[in-house]
Structure 1
Amino acid sequence: MTRPKTKKFKLQNRLSEVQEIEHLESWIASAKPDSGSNPLALTPLPEKSPIGKLPDGSFSRYAGVDRFRQLPLSKKTKDGLSAAGFLKMTDIQRASLPHSLCGRDILGAAKTGSGKTLAFIIPVLEKLYRARWGPEDGVGCIIMSPTRELASQLFEVLQSVGKYHGFSAGLLIGGRKDVDTEKERVNELNILVCTPGRLLQHMDETPNFECSELQVLVLDEADRILDVGFKKALNAIISQLPKYRQTFLFSATQTKSVKDLARLSLKDPEYISVHAESTTATPSLLEQTAMVIPLDQKLDILWSFIRAHLNSRILVFLSSCKQVKFVYEAFRKLRPGISLKCLHGRMKQDRRMGIYAQFCEEESVLFSTDVASRGLDFNKNVDWVVQVDCPEDVASYIHRVGRTARYLSGGKSILLLTPSETKMIDKLQEKKIPIRYIKANMKKVLPVSGLLAALLVKYPNLQQLAQRAFITYMRSIYKQRDKEVFDVTQLPIDEYSASLGLPMTPKVRFLKSKIKGQKMSKELVIVPDSTIDDNPIEIPQQSLSNGRRVEEESESEDDLLKENDTPRVGDDNATDTGYAMTGTRVLKKKKLKINMHRPVGTRVVFDDEGNTLPPLARLADTISDSSKLDKSKVNQRYAQLREEMKVVDKDDKVLDQKRRKEKRIKQKMKLKRGRDSEDDDRDSEDDISESENGRVGKKSKLYFDSDSDGGEGRKGKGSSSRIGNVTDSVTLAEQEELALKILSSMNS
């Protein structure tokens, strides 16, 4: 009885799905908005207005509505949205969903945190649902993301909203070891959320993997995927996809390049930029500030900032992985009083995801590269975004600060610029980014360079990491394309190296020109005596005392950063802080100059009366009045000395050969004694018995007694004779005779 009831239920379910699909298609076709229209310009329908088919046989419009229940969506999608808490649409969703549900290509641009993810996940689910897509149909949708963390976040949203659908979905990202498992199941997946590299790997290596029936292609953070870094992989992927498909491109900084759009085979796409007419390109609740400080004071400002905001969630951006690792390891050893974490692209995937999850749940400081700058939505709002290194362009800045002030939440950001990077402020203001200057209260700044120098002495591995951080930062500035902002020749590299605690400035091979007219040279290290002690490093009480954290929090947070009344670029007040950094070494200001044309000294010989003589006057005939040398006597003297040296040289060679031979014999005896001491008595008896039996065909060996044995010599194999100790080859009498012979020849 149960089985027929189940079949009947399934049949009714299929019929209801077919009827729902027919109803949705009729609704979409009859009330779709005009191409190029802006649904936001329409007045939203009342919440209690009739939805769907009206009594007169027509359908209600869905363009310009503000709630998901008013859209032509399937019941499964609406249930998933309600369960996830999504009821009212954001601007980008109101503007794009009416067009995307009609099957049109979308170029969507909106501020960070504005809900772009649902703007493409909903039409993906509806497209496959209306096409009655099943497991046997293969891959129907590909959603590509530039980073693994963002792909994981998209996959979670897809699972949440589409949990009532029967589609199979998979997350394909690098850094995981289960590639073989993915290859076995990837052909059965309907929706792929992936990174470009991993998808291309499956296209090249997985048997029978093909996407010829692809319905929808989605590029999240499209401007980053279309960039040079993914160009080769993306071109290879696009060449294997069908041209007739629906394509969505979403990003906070969307591209309008005709060349890029032609690569993706877009057909009359709808360009939707809901915030194009907005007064700001960043969230309105985001408070943005900038500070101009010398490069060698950045770590001091960062350390003081963290110490003043111990009860906040702070995201710190640095330009390279090595910088992230160094600052994290150094600050972790200094213990600022708050949990520290780091995130960069060279970490294993499991660890990256674990750190991302921990930062979402607790108040801490996360040091990161730009791997965390795009798309990531932390469950709890980030209080501060601190950009220690200047972003490469305006788009990177927008994505970085977009990690805070998500949707309706507020947030703060601070950008640290060197005096040579102030041109970036003008570029930000041209793009309608409201950013204002502030200056640090240097009385509240805690110098950290001296502490770093002590750490580098105590931990040699940290010193190597500091050197790599210095080099990678210089390389990042050197390779930047915008030379108006990034000029490596304007950087005080010696001072910056000292601020990292390095005893000398590392050599930067890729820089051929001089930095500020000075060559990089090794410097003199001045380290306090206390840093060489074996005891743990003592940190000043003002920088590590946690007992006064609550009382000083409000005062420090308000006083560390103060607004600059004259925020003009180039103003002395904006850059001159009057702060003297505690130096860790003495930088050379002057170099010793050597005069290559100085007079050369000569040898002077004096006689008994103090008169100067020529250098070879001693060889002259002092009896005769002539000061000329007797060349015949000199030549005769040289010939006699040569003959004597030949004789002495032969004796020396013989003596040297004997000494070398004696040295080799002693070494052999030492090796033999070592081997004999390790052998058992049974083995030694067997060797003696073999020797007595007189084995034929082996060369006899001689064993010599050494002075340390003091006993009888051992018998060699195949020989009954014993050779005694080898003493000094030359006796004392012979040495005396040789010495007398040499002295007599000298006197003659």
Structure 2
Amino acid sequence: MRRPKSKKFRKQERVSEEEEINLLNSWIQFQPPDSGSNPMSLPPLPKDAPVGRLHDDTYSRYAGASRFHQFPLSKKTKDALREAKFVAMTDIQRASLPHALCGRDILGAAKTGSGKTLAFIIPVLEKLYRERWGPEDGVGSIIISPTRELAGQLFDVLKIVGKNHNFSAGLLIGGRKDVDTEKQRVNELNILICTPGRLLQHMDETPNFDCTQLKVLVLDEADRILDSGFKQALNAIISQLPKRRQTLLFSATQTKSIQDLARLSLKDPEYLSVHEESVTATPTMLKQIVMVVDLDQKLDMLWSFIKTHLQSKTLVFLSSCKQVKFVFEAFKKLRPGIALKCLHGRMKQERRMAIYSEFCEKRSVLFSTDVAARGLDFNKAVDWVVQVDCPENVASYIHRVGRTARYKSCGNSVLFLLPSEIQMLEKLKAAKVPVHFSKPRQERLQPVSSLLASLLAKYPDMQHRAQRAFITYLRSIHIQKDKDIFDVTKLPIDKYSASLGLPMTPKIRFLNQKIKSKAVSTKSILVELGDSNKENFVEVSGKKLDTVTFKDEETENGLLQLADTANEDEMKSSEIGEMIPATRVLKKKKLKINVHRPVGTRVVFDDEGNTLPPLARIADTQSGKETMLLDPEQKAEYYRRMREDLKKGDKEDKLVERQRLREKRIKQKMKWKAEEEDDEDDISGSEGDEPETVDRRHKKKTKVYFDSDSDSESESEEGERKGNTGITTSAVTLEDQEALALKLLNSMHS
């Protein structure tokens, strides 16, 4: 058991902390870096140079230092860094720490895996330490992350670097059920690492949640947090924070938007892009490959890649959660020979963190959406990053490939581009991203589409997953802003659905506008077919049609691949009718009944073939012979007798049905009464229970009386049978119940 510190020792500790804080403040103020300068441009300090206070109240220079022990940091922070084997600083740390320790706002941009996390964790700890922040001071710093996994990773780094400090810290992320526990303790925390949604939830719901004394605000992956997806939440958060604070923004692709900076109330921020002069925007140890792959061959290429890299740790990026689910489930059933995992935003938080931890430790293939594209640092290096679907922009590409080749380690990436997405290659080259073309070896290509079709036939639920994956992928292409790269009208949709194993192309309801298709000249078609063959053009439901009209949805799905003409206006229905039909059988169009169609008349013939009026042949019931009752009086008499017979039969049927319903209600009443007695026994056997819910089932039930001879009774008779509470007061004896039960049994056997 740890012995408590004595009062004398605590006093000495406070004095030493005060002396250290005074020393640090004097050291920082002695030679601060010039505003607008990059400390990396200064000559580095020698390893054996004196550190700290020199003679005559002078201090060593820290701007341009390359090691942590040369900086004006507290002993607690330096000890934790040394124990974690953080000795030499990275470029972004050398550039940003001198400005951050001076209390300046920072916009830090650096390549992925360059150590941005320590560049803001250390200033946060040092700022609160020099302010002598304690539990009673409340929230002193907020660190906002766009994803839960990244927030958890930041929290782990904070625990390592700040373990010697006395600050309280909390991880506030969505997907967890302990919101009430967080609300009870959030006001006592000094450092909050959170996602925007969870932080805003506490600001709105937690009583007395106060951030007015905030000293440091940090946005990790700032460009992602400042975009439209988090705009509303971030504006609400910023409105509740004090304007006099230090703000640190870090990302691999930093924003320079004046509007974004104004939203955050930044004051003369220092823009530090340590790799802006670099030859490449991605890590130098990263080998990047681009392959042009047709849409219907993407899964074949992915399957072949996995089968040929069974000894590698591979991270696969897809556009949507539904795609991740389908590909993961399908490939798992096909057993490629390596462990498969999936990660997406629709999973529960506990499961997401477990999968992230498992992938960090073991060699496997992880299928993921962009939820794993930013900031995550996997402990053991990722060998390959495979981008099956094209990223939405260059920044997303840089963040994706940044999961490999982290900090002086090697890595590989491959990007599958469609022929219609080839312009992304030009944008990557313009952004100083070095990529290399590579052609797949056709002899090593292993088609998987036929296997997927068998899986969908064997597992019906897989067909629904495939349909959702198909639709969500097309939707992800449809909503992209850059139409020069992402054009859903250029995709071979029919072939793509077949490559997923689907027997038919699903409907795509979100495409409301018509696709501007390229018209084909129909003259050559008619010449080849000839007028005589035109009637055999297409056959639907056994009927030969001269022309075929396609639904807008089906033309949008790319079912018709049309050649060039001089006119590229929207296709007319008359032109569509002369086109060659798609290879797949189109869904039958529902027929509408024409209410104005001509109606025929019924013709009745006698034995000799003579026509008779309708319903003229009527049997003579008296003689038993068929006679032609054409006399109006006889017909009227016959109809009168028939009506009387029908009324009599209807009356008898009603009596039988009424008796059946009465017996059914009696049986139900007996069942309720038996349940009531059981409930009364249960209530009497337990103390303190409220019997309010016992008669709940009778609230909306129609009251039934056993001695009632009719279905409805007069109000006077009903009043005699009811008490003041409206409950039936007449009792049913045991003999009556036995008689009713016997009657029911007899009716059932009969």
TM class by shorter chain equals 0.7 to 0.9
Tell me the TM-score normalized by structure 1: 0.74
1 CA distance for matches of 2:67 and 2:666?
95
Give 1:295 shift.
1.0
1:14-29 equivalences under 5 Å are 14-29=14-29
Residue 385 of structure 1 aligns to a residue whose secondary structure is strand
- Any conservation in 1 of the 2:504–2:584 contact (CA below 8 Å)? no
Indicate whether 1:653 and 2:662 are aligned. no
1 CA distance for matches of 2:411 and 2:164?
35
Label 1:46 to 1:456 Cα distance change in 2 as closer, same or farther (>3 A): same
- Any conservation in 2 of the 1:488–1:515 contact (CA below 8 Å)? no
Partner residue of 2:534? none
Partner residue of 1:741? none
Partner residue of 1:79? 79
1 CA distance for matches of 2:410 and 2:637?
99
Partner residue of 2:381? 381
Partner residue of 2:152? 152
Amino acid at match of 2:639: K
1:291-306 equivalences under 5 Å are 291-306=291-306
1 CA distance for matches of 2:171 and 2:290?
39
Partner residue of 1:698? 707
1 CA distance for matches of 2:508 and 2:587?
22
Is 53-62 or 287-296 further displaced after alignment?
A: 53-62
1:207-246 equivalences under 5 Å are 207-246=207-246
Label 1:640 to 1:158 Cα distance change in 2 as closer, same or farther (>3 A): same
Partner residue of 2:164? 164
- Any conservation in 1 of the 2:32–2:99 contact (CA below 8 Å)? yes
**5+ residue gaps, structure 2:** 518-549, 556-581, 592-596, 601-608, 614-628, 672-704, 711-735, 741-745
2 CA distance for matches of 1:505 and 1:127?
60
Label 1:342 to 1:648 Cα distance change in 2 as closer, same or farther (>3 A): farther
Q: Deviations over 1:196-224 (max 9, x none)?
A: 11111111111111111111000000001
Give 1:333 shift.
1.1
Residue 440 of structure 1 aligns to a residue whose secondary structure is coil
2 CA distance for matches of 1:507 and 1:260?
40
Partner residue of 2:250? 250
Q: Deviations over 1:494-514 (max 9, x none)?
A: 211111112222111111245
Instruction: Kindly report the root-mean-square deviation, in angstroms, between the aligned alpha carbons of the 2 structures.
Output: 3.7
Partner residue of 1:413? 413
Q: Deviations over 1:504-550 (max 9, x none)?
A: 2211111124557575569xxxxxxxxxxxxxxxxxxxxxxxxxxxx
1:302-317 equivalences under 5 Å are 302-317=302-317
Give 1:652 shift.
7.1
Amino acid at match of 2:309: H
* Aligned-pair identity (%): 66
Indicate whether 1:587 and 2:584 are aligned. yes
Indicate whether 1:127 and 2:127 are aligned. yes
Is 213-222 or 414-423 further displaced after alignment?
A: 414-423
Partner residue of 2:451? 451
Give 1:665 shift.
9.0
Amino acid at match of 2:147: T
1:636-715 equivalences under 5 Å are 643=636, 646=639, 649-650=642-643, 653=646, 657=650, 660=653, 664=657, 698-699=707-708
- Any conservation in 2 of the 1:321–1:345 contact (CA below 8 Å)? yes
1 CA distance for matches of 2:426 and 2:323?
27
Q: Runs of 4+ in structure 1 displaced over 4 angstroms?
A: 2-5, 514-522, 588-592, 616-620, 636-645, 658-675, 714-718
Partner residue of 1:351? 351
2 CA distance for matches of 1:388 and 1:641?
85
- Any conservation in 1 of the 2:134–2:167 contact (CA below 8 Å)? yes
Amino acid at match of 1:65: A
Give 1:657 shift.
3.5
- Any conservation in 1 of the 2:666–2:706 contact (CA below 8 Å)? no
Q: Deviations over 1:575-595 (max 9, x none)?
A: xxxxxxxxxx96249999x9x
- Any conservation in 2 of the 1:492–1:515 contact (CA below 8 Å)? no
- Any conservation in 2 of the 1:492–1:516 contact (CA below 8 Å)? no
1 CA distance for matches of 2:61 and 2:48?
14
Give 1:490 shift.
1.1
Is 206-215 or 510-519 further displaced after alignment?
A: 510-519
Label 1:448 to 1:663 Cα distance change in 2 as closer, same or farther (>3 A): farther
Amino acid at match of 2:128: L
Give 1:655 shift.
8.3
- Any conservation in 2 of the 1:489–1:514 contact (CA below 8 Å)? no
Label 1:504 to 1:75 Cα distance change in 2 as closer, same or farther (>3 A): same
2 CA distance for matches of 1:660 and 1:3?
93
- Any conservation in 2 of the 1:700–1:716 contact (CA below 8 Å)? no
2 CA distance for matches of 1:9 and 1:396?
53
Q: Name which one, 1 or 2, has greater alpha-carbon Rg.
A: 1
Partner residue of 1:398? 398
Give 1:44 shift.
0.9
Label 1:365 to 1:637 Cα distance change in 2 as closer, same or farther (>3 A): same
Give 1:294 shift.
1.5
Partner residue of 2:714? none
Q: Deviations over 1:46-91 (max 9, x none)?
A: 1011111223542111111111111111111100101111000000
2 CA distance for matches of 1:295 and 1:3?
67
- Any conservation in 1 of the 2:120–2:248 contact (CA below 8 Å)? yes
Give 1:345 shift.
0.7
Label 1:57 to 1:619 Cα distance change in 2 as closer, same or farther (>3 A): closer
Indicate whether 1:58 and 2:67 are aligned. no
Partner residue of 1:737? none
Residue 43 of structure 1 aligns to a residue whose secondary structure is coil
